[in-house]
Amino acid sequence: MTMQLKLDDIRSASRIVYARMQATPQYCWPLLCERLGTGVWVKHENHTPVGAFKIRGGLVYFHHLQQSESRLTGVIAATRGNHGQSVGYAAGLYGIPVTIVVPHGNSVEKNAAMRALGVELIEYGDDFQASREYAETLANEQSLHMVPSFHPMLVAGVATYSLELLQNIGDIDVVYVPIGLGSGICGMLAARDALNLKTRVVGVVSSHAQAYAKSFRAGYPVESPVTTRLSDGMACRIPEPEALELILKGVDRIVQVTDDEVASAMCMMFECTHNVCEGAGAAALAAAIQEKTRLAGLKIAVVASGGNVDQDVFAEVLNNGK
């Protein structure tokens, strides 16, 4: 797997993405700056057509897949929601049938959003890893194309949001990026390096899904159980080896945030910007809040990676935050 993306690769991916959606905004919100005591920019990936950054990777992946696969009968993927929406949206543009596998107890509203895109939804397993393994089995049995959660084309696609941020907002000292399986943070690393910037990239994981944090410390993939109730987008039990390799080379550090810290960040994001973030979408802000004392005088950015949170979950978060 080749992952040495150059600036031309990301710009080429941008052209594919912008044929279907606009660039998302990055705003500096005064109240957030006041709360953190420094300049804070938010990259609003909660503003995409499916409410999360993943759509960018899906658009690029299926653009290339359609050109290389002439006899594609259907695709399958495993997800906690946002990757599945991306696959459903992008495959639907080409009339390709989609099967999505999610774990039991998955987000009700993410499931509904995927069904609205026309996918066949299957619930299997207790976590993402179990769903992924079952999807791979079905792919072999039914001759379906398995859409991975990590792939060079997906990384090239999601790197377009990082290119937007880093090109539009100069001299960012630190950017916080949530880690699910790793496409988002690897896209950020690719864009930073392609632009030859010195911005420090900080990864953010859930304290209740520590696979990447433990792997970062160890220097090799380490499996870790998932117990997060709120940050389903970061609920990774087994790291992606290719993603970890890039993270080890390019990430400054990894910060762990608890569900309570994420909930507080969701409340702060809504109070200060009136934007809705799901757990993983607010995790970067949660990490910045945790590290507030070391950020004085720096220009920072946080990635609001998605806003797809169930209404009852968000209501509970806001009510408990009062």
Buried b (16+ CB within 10 A) or exposed e, 102-111: bbeebbebbb
Q: Which one, of 136, 138, 163, lies nearest residue 149 by Cα?
A: 136
Q: Beta-carbon neighbour count of residue 316 at 10 Å?
A: 13
- Are the C-beta atoms of residues 154 and 65 closer than 8 Å to each other? no
Phi and psi torsions of 282, nearest 5°: -100, -5
Q: How far apart are alpha carbons 265 and 267 in whole angstroms?
A: 5
pLDDT band of 39, cuts 50, 70, 90: very high
pTM (predicted TM-score)? 0.96
Average pLDDT over residues 26-41: 98
Average pLDDT over residues 98-103: 96
Average pLDDT over residues 262-285: 98
Q: Beta-carbon neighbour count of residue 47 at 10 Å?
A: 17
Question: Is a pLDDT exceeding 60 seen at residue 280?
Answer: yes
pLDDT at 63: 96
Average pLDDT over residues 89-100: 96
Q: Which one, of 224, 223, 226, lies nearest residue 208 by Cα?
A: 226
| Range list of β-strands (E), 88-144 | 98-102, 120-123
pLDDT at 321: 76
pLDDT at 287: 98
pLDDT at 33: 97
pLDDT at 301: 98
Q: Residue 18: which residues within 8 A CB-CB, separation 6 or more?
A: none
- Are the C-beta atoms of residues 84 and 102 closer than 8 Å to each other? yes
What's the chain's Rg over C-alpha atoms? 18
Return the structure tokens found at 39: 């300049």
Domains and CATH numbers, the chain: 7-53+152-320 (3.40.50.1100), 54-146 (3.40.50.1100)
Q: How far apart are alpha carbons 111 and 100 in whole angstroms?
A: 10
> How open is the CA angle 159-165-166, to the nearest 5 degrees?
90
Question: Is a pLDDT exceeding 50 seen at residue 284?
Answer: yes
Average pLDDT over residues 110-127: 96
- Are the C-beta atoms of residues 178 and 161 closer than 8 Å to each other? no
Residues 173-187 pLDDT 10s: 999 999 999 999 999
Question: Is a pLDDT exceeding 80 seen at residue 124?
Answer: yes
Tokens 């069904």, located at residue: 115
Mean pLDDT, all residues of the chain: 96
Question: Is a pLDDT exceeding 80 seen at residue 259?
Answer: yes
pLDDT at 1: 43
Question: Is a pLDDT exceeding 80 seen at residue 2?
Answer: no
pLDDT band of 125, cuts 50, 70, 90: very high
Question: Is a pLDDT exceeding 80 seen at residue 168?
Answer: yes
Question: Is a pLDDT exceeding 60 seen at residue 228?
Answer: yes
